């Protein structure tokens, strides 16, 4: 979702280097705008003050401007310690002295899509004098063809002959379509299915495979945790389509132009949509025939606060299958 920001900064004449944590660096390596990707040597969620200070010292004097996409204190600390003159970002988490140019964080009621949220930072380009220009709001990634061929050979797959599904969601259970629904969908799908995700999604994938087998079918494989992110991206790029929750892999499919069905419940497709003309999004809050209406959505909670999660349970496998047939 930050790629349109990079595209606009490149259009304005900047040469771009992205500093990214290991689990997201492969996404930036697939962006044509990124001339360099620096993999940050930090642990997730840890301050690691001395390590950050030492790392920042290695890039002092190398950069004129920094655009800080995460809202955390830790992320704004790096360009500050590196002495980068122009440091742009949102007010966020205790960052008043760390950023030289701060944008006010919009409220949950008024915030636009995350792509526009990030893109707005480009108004500070050229030391704050440039106005925000129009830019494509459709992210675009490219996949290395050799890597893709290697992944297909490794798992015995053929281009466009399989369907990818991503049953996980990093933020929590409230964003996940139930395993039973995935089982029902796969049982009604003729093409081979591969389940993708991180190691934390492995248990969910195993439960889906067991459920599909119990229904008398065996055309699904759980590859969650068995691929690097770059390999999962290559598999999505070569699939006939992707079915997923609102997740990182959903956005990757959109940026690769892959047909997809994206399922929303506790989150909002108005805030984090799958930005692709080939994406079909299901959100029961949009359905005028669905009763009773979902006054609780979007709640943006990790676990359903009302304990029914009907925003996801009531998305039927048949409604997803009907959209898949358009592929």
- Cα(120)–Cα(311) distance, integer angstroms: 31
Average pLDDT of every residue of the chain: 92
CA angle at 27 for the pair 22 and 93, rounded to the nearest 5° = 65
Are 120 and 157 part of one and the same domain? no
Are 60 and 179 part of one and the same domain? no
Are 155 and 32 part of one and the same domain? no
Are 113 and 155 part of one and the same domain? no
Are 172 and 312 part of one and the same domain? yes
Contact call for residues 231 and 201 (beta carbons, < 8 A): no
User: Is 138 part of any domain?
Assistant: no
For residue 195, give the nearest of 169, 213, 215, 222 by alpha carbon.
Answer: 222
State the average pLDDT over residues 82-88: 96
Domain residues for the domain of 297 are: 145-324
User: Is 132 part of any domain?
Assistant: no
User: Is 137 part of any domain?
Assistant: no
Are 159 and 101 part of one and the same domain? no
- Cα(214)–Cα(131) distance, integer angstroms: 59
Are 153 and 115 part of one and the same domain? no
Least trusted range by pLDDT, from 43-47, 76-80, 84-88, 183-187: 43-47
Contact call for residues 175 and 266 (beta carbons, < 8 A): yes
Tens of pLDDT, residue by residue over 131-151, are 445 557 888 999 999 999 999
Are 114 and 158 part of one and the same domain? no
State the average pLDDT over residues 237-255: 97
Q: What percent of the chain has pLDDT over 90?
A: 82
Are 98 and 152 part of one and the same domain? no
Tell me, what CATH number does 271's domain have?
Answer: 3.40.50.2000
Output the pLDDT for position 124: 66
Output the pLDDT for position 252: 96
The number of folded domains in the chain is: 2
Picking from 70, 94, 124, the residue at the C-terminal end of a domain is: 124
Are 314 and 251 part of one and the same domain? yes
State the average pLDDT over residues 167-189: 95
Question: Is pTM, for the whole model, over 0.85?
Answer: yes
Are 113 and 160 part of one and the same domain? no
Tell me the pLDDT band of 126, cut-offs 50, 70 and 90: very low
């Amino acid at each position: 979702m930050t790629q349109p920001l990079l595209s606009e900064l490149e259009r304005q004449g900047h040469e771009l280097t992205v500093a990214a944590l290991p689990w997201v660096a492969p996404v930036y390596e697939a962006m044509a705008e990124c001339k360099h990707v620096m993999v940050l040597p930090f642990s997730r969620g840890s301050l690691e003050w001395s390590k950050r200070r030492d790392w920042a010292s290695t890039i002092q004097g190398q950069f004129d401007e920094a655009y800080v996409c995460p809202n955390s204190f830790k992320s704004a600390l790096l360009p500050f310690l590196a002495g980068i003159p122009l440091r742009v970002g949102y007010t966020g988490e205790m960052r008043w002295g760390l950023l030289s140019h701060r944008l006010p964080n919009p409220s949950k009621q008024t915030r636009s899509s995350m792509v526009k949220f990030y893109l707005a930072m480009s108004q500070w380009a050229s030391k704050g004098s440039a106005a925000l220009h129009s830019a494509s709001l459709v992210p675009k990634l490219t996949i290395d063809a050799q890597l893709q061929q290697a992944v297909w050979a490794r798992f015995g797959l053929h281009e466009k002959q399989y369907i990818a599904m991503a049953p996980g969601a990093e933020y929590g259970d409230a964003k996940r379509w139930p395993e039973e629904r995935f089982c029902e969908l796969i049982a009604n799908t003729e093409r081979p299915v591969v389940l993708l995700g991180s190691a934390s999604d492995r248990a969910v994938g195993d439960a889906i495979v067991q459920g599909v087998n119990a229904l008398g079918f065996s055309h699904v494989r759980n590859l969650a945790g068995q691929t690097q992110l770059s390999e999962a991206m290559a598999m999505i790029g070569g699939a006939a389509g992707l079915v997923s929750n609102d997740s990182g892999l959903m956005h990757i499919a959109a940026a690769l132009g892959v047909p997809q069905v994206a399922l929303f419940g506790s989150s909002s497709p108005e805030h984090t949509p799958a930005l692709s003309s080939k994406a079909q999004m299901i959100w029961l809050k949009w359905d005028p025939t669905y009763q009773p209406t979902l006054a609780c959505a979007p709640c943006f909670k990790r676990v359903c606060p009302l304990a029914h999660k009907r925003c996801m349970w009531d998305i039927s496998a048949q409604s997803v299958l009907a959209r898949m047939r358009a592929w």
